[in-house]
Structure 1
């Protein structure tokens, strides 16, 4: 299993991302630098700035919401990331919440899973990468009908298209159409019991190899004065109030309530969706993700960064990396 790093903040300036790009560039244990959806600076622009500043590291997005973009635009952004960094890029997409769909599109998707799969098919068609087979127009949501939408060919490293996955049906869709399935806040046991098998099922149904499974895992090292439930709330509170996250966590055996995000954050820690403890404890928790079939873990230190800043974030990160250095996933 590989380890990667999420930029642990939504950058207000591109310079805020530099210490984390530098860490990925100089630490052989870290595979990729990730950023989630931003309503401030566009992630592709942040990564392009980092590359231009000399930090040409592999990058990924986890996940960009489809209501904000058309497939041709998504394909253009994705191949730009690969071209400017000089590395294969992993670009994840998801439908976002029903509120986001309603606000950006005027109506929520009738079927978010089908719409997401169709968006991925259309984006792949726009990329028209030579190693991809022809993409049939089989999507159910024809707002992303891609007839005639292609881009002029440009040489670039490979773009891997991913779907954000929480529950079984989206995991099956990722198995059918994506290069990777990306989970967020999913405890290891749930990944192994639900996500990985469903991705494999979808791949088998489509007659293709199982896509990689990537898990973004919030973590924090236990230190005097720290409260894990507060750090979990900072890292995930915005997600815990959303019904689709609460539903996933309930299915995972984590008793959460969208009406009480503080209690939900405490439940997330108790249920293993937020890894807190010594660096060795966290390493042991990451081993469970490897056993669940996860191919890459994105270390998410957003809670630590929100409260304690960059220096303590990097201190936690380096202790975790030291604790995992001798592990054989």
Structure 2
């Protein structure tokens, strides 16, 4: 069964801190399985999710994703453990290396050996999250620390993985992957078989594959595509997403949006489930002059489909 969640950050700012928290509270009341937040140049999403955890009781909350270059893995693990203690087991940590233009142009850091960076980073985070201690000497990271917390909550860790090597690492060491700008064919022929094969060879359970997608339920496909291009067209300029678009056989990242009426969008979501996605994380975007009504139409369909796909 496809787990259905909401996603914010893929279309830019999701509003004030309180507005982001209230969206999670509303999503829980509407019955959604999960709520995911992307780290953008906005509030710190792990802090925001920690605050939201205090106001919710059931819904899964997660980062999709928070970039590794912003925190040493010890700090990442400590913050994730803290959020999980507040969330009582409902928090999932999604991490990714981000993109070279972001890391070098915005953060002023060198984007070198991204796979090695993630492999070592994950080793440290997993060791601290599972055992509360780490003694690791790598080529890019080192860590030697023992946490003094009396108990450690389990923290599922997902990798933003698109390339074969990162997908194999996600299958071997993490609990799954989160994709963005990735279509049904790419999931079916590349993402799902690569990560599942790696997990099977490592003797691990079948990993989660969370497909984050833009979506608008509408009768005006032309207007929706124009809006999709406005919100999401820029993603095609990033090499890792460009590679996924090429695999899918589309020119623009705007084409990754699920656009149509209720019946059409339901069929599109079913296609993602059939391709092997275990979860869908939906970035709703508005279409037309009545923006609130547009968003509510999409939310209503998704809420109605929870537990049915």
Shorter-chain TM-score bucket reads: 0.7 to 0.9
Alignment deviations for residues 87-118 of structure 1 (CA, whole Å, 9 cap, x no partner): 33111111111123324363211x21222122
CA distance in 2, matches of 1:314, 1:115: 41
What is the aligned partner in structure 2 of residue 184 from structure 1? 180
1:44-88 Cα deviation digits (max 9, x unpaired): 121222234x23442111111111111011112211221222233
- Helix, strand or coil at the partner of 1:128: helix
Over 3 Å counting, the alpha-carbon distance change for 1:2 and 1:42 in structure 2 is same
Q: Tell me the equivalent position of 2:67.
A: 65
Q: CA deviation at 1:229?
A: 2.0
Is 2:73 aligned against 1:77? Answer: no
Structure 2: how far apart are the matches of 1:227 and 1:136?
Answer: 55
SS in 1 for 2:159: strand
The question of 1:320 aligning with 2:307 is answered no
Superposed counterparts of 1:119-158, under 5 Å: 119-129=121-131, 142-146=139-143, 148-155=144-151, 157-158=153-154
Q: Which runs of 5+ in 1 are unaligned?
A: 256-263
Once the two structures are superposed, residues 104-143 of structure 1 have per-residue CA deviations (whole angstroms, 9 ceiling, x without a partner) of 363211x21222122111111222348xxx989596xx22
C-alpha separation between the residues in 2 aligned to 1:314 and 1:150?
Answer: 47
Distance in 2 between the 1:243 and 1:307 partners? Answer: 34
Aligned partner of 1:261 in structure 2 is: none
Q: Deviations over 1:149-173 (max 9, x none)?
A: 3422354642111100223222112
Larger RCO, structures 1/2 (Cα 8 Å, 6+ apart): 2
Aligned match of 1:95: 97
Q: Once the two structures are superposed, what CA deviation does each residue of 1:216-269 show, in whole Å capped at 9, x if it has no partner? A: 0111011448612222224423322212211121022123xxxxxxxx24xx42
TM norm structure 2 = 0.88
Q: What does the per-residue CA deviation read over 1:170-190, in whole Å, with 9 as the maximum and x for residues that have no partner?
A: 211211111111111110121
Distance (Å, rounded) in 1 between the aligned partners of 2:13 and 2:151: 30
Counterpart Cα distance in 2 of 1:194 and 1:172:
11
Question: 1:308 Cα deviation (Å)?
Answer: 6.0
Cα distance in 1, alignment partners of residues 98 and 123 from structure 2:
18
